[in-house]
């Protein structure tokens, strides 16, 4: 990685660097999700397996949403971190991480599920090119830049600066949005626009379960990548910004 500090580079350059750094795991996750999507429509066994998740979500609703996203974004990555980077020895830091990430992911998952249900009400619960395209536009160019990315950057930066009021005030400025949120958005779009095309290509009942599976794969890969960098004494300021979805599994570790 380049040793040039982020403030010496433009937001576009940072975003492009992050997208390139995440390219290999992104393609892997996209390939896995594409295989699941194709299997859902062509393989009855895979379709039945995925329908189990859909039925479970229909039966348990909000409880399923919270449990699935907390496991995917918080608990499983922390266990992964303990096993592979802490030699199986948990510390108080892991508990502190969970106390922070669990409520953050519970909020995030609830809002994502609400977004999917709202889009189904607006555009219809059908798989058609205009409907899928409309949902992607609302998701990635509405919800993401106006809430999801700023919320993710703000919460983890706030934690990593010791929950200071100064960091909160700085976060609500255009310079902060340009320097921190825009690069994150560019990296996020490179990964998640193809993934959202796949997720919106299944019925509503399967969209959140499929999102949860993608999130598990992605956060585990990003956890491995960023902690491998840290083990080689690469400073966090020298790395491209992580995706908002991966920050929960890596930034606090």
At 196-229, the pLDDT tens digits run: 999 999 999 999 999 998 888 877 766 665 565 5
Taking the C-alpha atoms of residue 198 and residue 50, their distance in angstroms, rounded to an integer, is 14
Any domain includes 108: yes
190: confidence class by pLDDT, cuts 50, 70, 90:
confident
Among 25-29, 79-83, 91-95, whose mean pLDDT is lowest?
25-29
Return phi, psi of residue 67, to 5°. Answer: -65, -45
d(CA 235, CA 62): 39
User: Residue 127: how many CB atoms within 10 A of its CB?
Assistant: 12
Q: Is residue 160 part of a domain?
A: yes
Quick: pLDDT tens for 131-180. 999 999 999 999 999 998 888 888 877 877 777 777 677 777 888 888 88
Query: Rounded distance, CA 222 to CA 216, Å?
Result: 10
Whether residue 23 is predicted with pLDDT greater than 90 in this model: the reply is no
Q: What is the DSSP letter of 87?
A: T
Q: How confident is the model at residue 181 (pLDDT cuts 50, 70, 90)?
A: confident
Give the count of domains, the chain. Answer: 1
- Asked if residue 159 is part of any domain, the answer here is yes
Q: Is residue 1 part of a domain?
A: no
More confident residue, 18 or 48: 48
Are residues 214 and 195 in contact, defined by beta-carbon separation less than 8 angstroms? Answer: yes
Q: Is 180 part of any domain?
A: yes
- CA dist 232 and 152 (Å) reads 26
CA distances from 204 to 65, 95, 213, 220, 239 (A): 13, 34, 15, 25, 36
**Euclidean distance between CA atoms 72 and 211, whole angstroms:** 10
- For position 214, what pLDDT does the model report? 87
Q: Is residue 226 part of a domain?
A: yes
Assess if residue 17 is contained within a domain.
yes
pLDDT score at 119: 97
- Give residue 204's domain range: 7-250
């Amino acid at each position: 990685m380049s040793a040039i500090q982020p403030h010496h580079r433009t937001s576009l350059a940072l975003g492009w660097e992050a997208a390139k750094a995440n390219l290999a795991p992104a393609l892997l996750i996209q390939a896995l999700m594409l295989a699941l999507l194709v299997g859902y429509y062509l393989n009855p066994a895979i379709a039945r397996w995925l329908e189990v998740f859909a039925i479970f979500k229909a039966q348990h609703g909000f409880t399923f949403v919270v449990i699935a996203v907390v496991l995917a974004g918080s608990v499983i990555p922390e266990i992964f971190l303990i096993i592979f980077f802490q030699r199986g020895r948990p510390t108080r830091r892991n508990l502190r991480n969970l106390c922070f990430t669990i409520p953050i992911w519970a909020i995030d998952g609830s809002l994502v599920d609400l977004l999917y249900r709202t889009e189904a009400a607006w555009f219809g619960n059908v798989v058609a090119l205009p409907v899928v395209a409309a949902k992607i536009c609302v998701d990635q160019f509405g919800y993401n830049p106006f809430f999801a990315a700023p919320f993710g950057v703000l919460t983890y930066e706030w934690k990593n600066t010791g929950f200071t009021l100064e960091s909160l005030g700085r976060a609500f400025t255009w310079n902060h949005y340009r320097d921190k949120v825009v690069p994150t958005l560019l990296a996020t779009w490179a990964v998640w626009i193809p993934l959202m095309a796949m997720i919106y290509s299944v019925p509503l009942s399967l969209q959140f379960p499929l999102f949860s599976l993608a999130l598990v794969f992605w956060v585990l890969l990003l956890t491995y990548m960023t902690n491998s960098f840290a083990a080689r004494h690469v400073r966090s300021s020298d790395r491209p910004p992580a995706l908002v979805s991966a920050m929960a599994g890596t930034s606090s570790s």
